[in-house]
Structure 1
Amino acid sequence: MSTLTPLDLLRWSWSPFPGPGIRIEEHLDGDRFVVRAELPGVDPGKDVEVTLSGEVLKIKVERKESFTGKAHSEFHYGSFYRTVPVPPGLRPDTVDASYQAGILTISALIAENQTAGKPIPIKAES
């Protein structure tokens, strides 16, 4: 007897990776915004594209089926993506990406004093 609910089956059937799409972690590490994405079994040089457009980071992955002689496969193939809103003040010129052991890590500097605002001097007229 299965303990899965119909909602579990629906959620998994739409997912290119187990769980809700590309699973990510995001956090601040000092003055850097860091996003980590689980991308097992991909070639980051050929299968992964990372873009920053405005205030949105997009991770796009395309995994093509390479072996057709199998009788059974539970691997996921196809194109899928994840968008992540980035914090205000993120400096696009500092974005770095690396891939190790199935984890894509993207980080960028955040400009200082983004929440403090800019002081505006007041000119006194006499």
Structure 2
Amino acid sequence: MANIMRWGGADITEPFRRFLEGDMASWLRVEEYRDAAAMVVKAEVPGVDPDKDVDIESAGNDLRIQVRHEERSEHKDKEGFRTEFRYGTFSRTVTMPGPVRESDIRATYDDGILEVRIPMPEQTPGTASRKIPVSRGTGTVGQGTGSTGSTGGTAAPAA
């Protein structure tokens, strides 16, 4: 399994990577979609205090969401006292749609739903995709100016 991870590295999507590594328990499940103006990431995280339990960081084109959850219950009756607790840290890293200023990212928490809105970067003429033509010829890449690859020098006779 480790060989697969070394071979695939960053090409493997995070959910699949976590599955292969057996790390699904600490994985924060999210809904991710794009609307006209923003990429939206939503996570259902009821019972947390967003001021204390939620950390959102951006690094390059990655957005990391980390949520700490602690739940405790106590039961008292005639036969005794019992407490139960569950706790853990859940995280998820999503790739943002391009370079985004951190100050433009908005996060809200309402009724147990954490929503992060990342504005879609504006397309400038230099960032639009375009098709690169492929020329045919016997020349080497980077030499000459014509499509045949001629360098303007003397050609060696063909064998």
TM-score normalised according to structure 2 size: 0.53
Alpha-carbon distance in 1 for matches of 2:86, 2:65: 17
RMSD: 2.8
Name stretches of at least 5 consecutive residues in structure 2 with no aligned partner.
1-21, 76-81, 131-159
**Number of aligned pairs?**
101
Q: CA deviation at 1:72?
A: 6.2
* Contact 1:48 1:59 survives alignment (8 Å): yes
Whose RCO is larger (CA < 8 A, sep 6+)? 1
Matched residue, 2:51:
45
Deviations 1:72-93 (A, max 9, x none): 64x6412221111111243433
Matched residue, 1:94:
104
Could you tell me which of 92, 108, 113 is aligned with 2:123? 113
SS at the partner of 1:98? strand
* Contact 2:60 2:99 survives alignment (8 Å): no
* Contact 1:91 1:111 survives alignment (8 Å): no
Matched residue, 1:83:
93
Matched residue, 2:38:
32
Amino acid corresponding to residue 112 of structure 1 in structure 2: E
Amino acid corresponding to residue 116 of structure 1 in structure 2: A
Identity of aligned residues (%): 38
Alpha-carbon distance in 1 for matches of 2:56, 2:49: 13
Q: CA deviation at 1:30?
A: 0.8
**Displacement over 6 Å in runs of 4+:** none
Matched residue, 2:17:
none
Give 1 or 2: higher helix fraction.
Answer: 2
TM-score normalised according to structure 1 size: 0.66
Alpha-carbon distance in 2 for matches of 1:23, 1:34: 14
